[in-house]
Chains A and B, each alone.
Chain A
Amino acid sequence: MAAVAPLPQPELAATYEMPVEQVSLLQDAWNRIRRNRLALVGACIIALLLTTAIVATFWTPYPVWLQAVGPTYQPPSAKHLLGLDQAGRDILSRIMGGATITIQVGVGSAIIVSLIGIPLGLIAGYYRGWVDTAISFFINIWYGIPDLLVALILVFVLSDALHLIPRGVFVIVLAFSLTRWMDVARLVRGQTLALREREFVEAARMSGARNLRIVARHILPNALGPIIVQATFAIPAAVLFEAFLSFLGLGLPSPTPSWGAMAADGYHGMDFAPHIVLAPTIALSITLMAFNWLGDGLRDAFDPRMRH
């Protein structure tokens, strides 16, 4: 009698399908963005800008407002790397101070734009019906206006004419956000409309989750990627708006080292002292470029169509 061959033991590892490596949203995005050289350059420039902004809040080579630290209109030298402006202020210090303003305006606007746009988009997309119709109508109306010019009038009315809010970073951020929240709102609305039909939302509803919980825990986290991208693109737009306003003399008041205002200062002496106008405009252009590159990289990284 032949010995009964032992039953082959199933190999444990083979019976279970190895789960696909779990990657979180942010990690996946990071893996993708690492391969995008332009986005990395942008991120490095932004890191430098952030460092400069933080350093400048505590220390600059000369106080940003201090006049006559040397001869006016002095071109760049070893002592003053970017030269001196028409009032004899150190331009390097002012560029550094301008970095702080830029970061405040950019990040502040991204936050407020999201604070306005995300709830409106979520409500419109989740409840649909007349709420959606109303909000969408509002969004469409808002799209049809020259937004920067409304923002410009808002800044002027709120701070110059009514003296409600002192002319400063906050009023600029507020005016910008009030006229530019539609991009985020429209995006979130679209995402919510698509996500609310998905199985996991249904499952959550079946298990008795309330609307607020579904929106906050299931829909919003899944829409986060595109929201981050949209908020990133709001930063250069806000920075440009601030520079545009300050250049026209309607933005930050005079001693504030805003890049736009510095460009306006230097613009009059351009023929004989081009360094005054070149420093802030180049700084502004590089900053905008860095944010746009990072934004493009993030958009490619978070684009669900590209995944796997």
Chain B
Amino acid sequence: MTRGTVSYIGQRLILIAVTTVLVSSIVFLLLHQIPGNAFLNETRTSPQSLAANLHHYGLDLPLPQQYVNWFTNVLHGNLGESLKNRGVFITPLLIREASVSATVGFFALLITIGLGLILGVIAALRQNTWIDYVASSASVVGYSIPSFVLAIFGLLIAGHYFYIWTGGTLYYVPGWGKIEQIPVPALALGLPYAAYVARLTRASMLETIRTDYVRTAWAKGLKPRVVVIRHALRNALIPVVTILGPLITGIITGSVVIENIFGIPGLGKEFITSILARDYNIVIGVFTFYAALVGLANLAVDVIYPVLDPRIRY
């Protein structure tokens, strides 16, 4: 950690904070342009109770005042209170749900990077053999199939056909809480990106294994494992790391629809549920959370860079 790195990370953190605040402010202002109020759709309420409700949430204040209040609260880590379920505070709710989303996302990322790297490296090392052809065609098809389509196929195969084939002994039940409920959504979320990583790894591995230093490494009589992993792969990884940022954003976005399909109580499900229920406080909260998350993920990727390639310095 040089001083440059520290100040770089500092600058990026400030930029992330600015972005998060800016974007969630836009969402806040957009959602507060909506005519009427959040309680209009409910069963008939007396004017007194409506006024009490509005007052409770500070919605009777002028918009600039509401904005300042919201902003101060966000700076204190308080994202407000659910409009539909009074007494439910959003920050703890989102932290609980984020841990669920993070679990799925972590395994999806593991599949993406693990499977993608392994397939890409093997395809490159065995170029123009059947292994290469199978891996390459799988990835060229795989990266175009959106994760929600894979999720539907996964649900159909793992939930329905497995039940028939195994006579009801081994099959997937949508939901959350058991370990065996993780693989299907994680695969659906991770596979398209794994295909993409495999393609990229193959291309950049093909370039690196033809370089002089890799030939030197072979000539020195190093073990194949050492040559491939320490000499070739480490350098081939650099282009792969560049897409990690968009990839993590993609997994976060993809989790929105995956969680809805598989009934996983994470951030993505909350996001859609609250949009449809018009619980704007939660929508703004989830969004602020997401914006910060995407920024931090991108920062993490940029910090990994110099580790792989010492030529890159901040």
Binding site for B on A (CB under 8 A): 38, 140-141, 143-150, 152-154, 156-157, 161-162, 236, 240, 243-244, 247-250, 263, 267, 270-271, 274, 277, 281, 284-285, 288-289, 292-293
Using Cβ atoms and an 8 Å threshold, which residues of chain A touch B275?
A: 152-153, 156, 250
Residue ID in chain A nearest B284 by CB atoms: A153
Given contacts A162-B33, A281-B153, contact A293 B22 (CB under 8 A): no
Using Cβ atoms and an 8 Å threshold, which residues of chain B touch A38?
A: 140
Residue ID in chain B nearest A163 by CB atoms: B35
Q: How far is the CA of A270 from the CA of B260 in the complex (A)?
A: 16
Chain A, interface SS category: helix
Per CB-CB distance, the 9 closest pairs between chain A and chain B, nearest first, are A289-B144, A161-B34, A288-B144, A281-B149, A144-B19, A148-B253, A285-B145, A157-B30, A146-B290
Partner pick for B260 among A162, A248, A288, CB 8 A cutoff: A248
Using Cβ atoms and an 8 Å threshold, which residues of chain B touch A140?
A: 15
Closest Cβ–Cβ distance, residue B251 to chain A (whole Å): 11
Q: How far is the CA of A243 from the CA of B253 in the complex (A)?
A: 14
The answer, yes or no, to whether B239 is at the interface (CB within 8 Å) is no
> Which of B30, B143, B271, B298 is the most central at the interface, judged by chain A CB atoms within 10 Å of its CB?
B30
Q: How far is the CA of A146 from the CA of B253 in the complex (A)?
A: 7
The answer, yes or no, to whether B90 is at the interface (CB within 8 Å) is no
A149 and B287 form a contact (CB under 8 A): yes
Q: How far is the CA of A285 from the CA of B253 in the complex (A)?
A: 18
A144 and B295 form a contact (CB under 8 A): yes
Q: List 7 A-B contacts (CB under 8 A).
A: A144-B298, A148-B253, A249-B276, A250-B275, A263-B152, A281-B152, A289-B144
Q: How far is the CA of A284 from the CA of B147 in the complex (A)?
A: 12
The answer, yes or no, to whether B172 is at the interface (CB within 8 Å) is no
Residue ID in chain A nearest B31 by CB atoms: A157
Using Cβ atoms and an 8 Å threshold, which residues of chain A touch B155?
A: 270
B287 and A153 form a contact (CB under 8 A): yes
Using Cβ atoms and an 8 Å threshold, which residues of chain B touch A250?
A: 272, 275-276
The answer, yes or no, to whether B18 is at the interface (CB within 8 Å) is yes
Closest Cβ–Cβ distance, residue A86 to chain B (whole Å): 15
Using Cβ atoms and an 8 Å threshold, which residues of chain B touch A267?
A: 152, 261
